[in-house]
Amino acid sequence: MADRSTGNADHPDPTRVVADSSVLAADLFVDGDARRALDLVRSHSWIDLVASDHLLAATEELVAALADPDLAAAHRDRLEADRVAVDHPDDDHPALASAYRGEAAHLLSSDERLNSAKAGLSMQPRLSISVRTPDAFAAVFDPEKLYPTVEDGSYPGPDCDPRE
């Protein structure tokens, strides 16, 4: 996927979203908050999911442990096709580092420790990332409001089928 981020070191990109491995797995397995949140991303071509290889590997390991390796591999393939890829050191937290390296404004996680984990990154961040649970993100993230700030014209509505 092409890098068309409008983010930089001081201002993260509001159209970029990272989900941690538990949220990505919850999206896959449970028709609930995580899927509602990530459907917002899948439904809009101008909203990007950012993920490192480390994050995809952690998600594949989790899905394989919960179900089977074939489903985990198919899920990873799909995430690889959809994501904006970023890289980070092995020791960094995969989701947090994906957000910082990808200049994403949103990090979906149910892990409240992530805010304090920022200090553990190899790259000391200046970015202001919003760490939210999937239900909180789905409640406040409004593509219609965001659209005029990042694209020309008025909001055309969802332009992708989130099940394709």
Partner 1 sequence: MPTTWGELFDRAESADVTLDQIRSTAAELTDGESASGETDG
Contacts with partner 1 in 35-54 (CB under 8 A)?
35, 42
Tell me the backbone φ, ψ of residue 131, rounded to 5 degrees. -95, 115
For position 157 contacting partner 1 by CB under 8 A, the verdict is no
Contacts with partner 1 in 72-101 (CB under 8 A)?
74-75, 77-78, 80-81
Angstrom distance (rounded) from CA 11 to CA 13:
7
Structure tokens at 131: 């760490």
Name the residue nearer to partner 1 (CB basis): 16 or 35.
Answer: 35
Spatial strand order of the sheet with 104-108 comes to 84-86, 48-52, 13-19, 104-108, 130-132
Query: From the CB of 85, what's the least distance to partner 1, in Å?
Result: 15
The candidate with the shortest Cα–Cα distance to 69, out of 79, 59, 83, 82, is 59
19 three-state secondary structure: strand
- List the one residue from 28, 51, 104, 107 that touches partner 1 (CB under 8 A): 28
Summarize as ranges the residues that interact with partner 1 (CB under 8 A).
21-22, 25-26, 28-32, 35, 42, 58, 61-62, 65-68, 71, 74-75, 77-78, 80-81, 110, 162-164
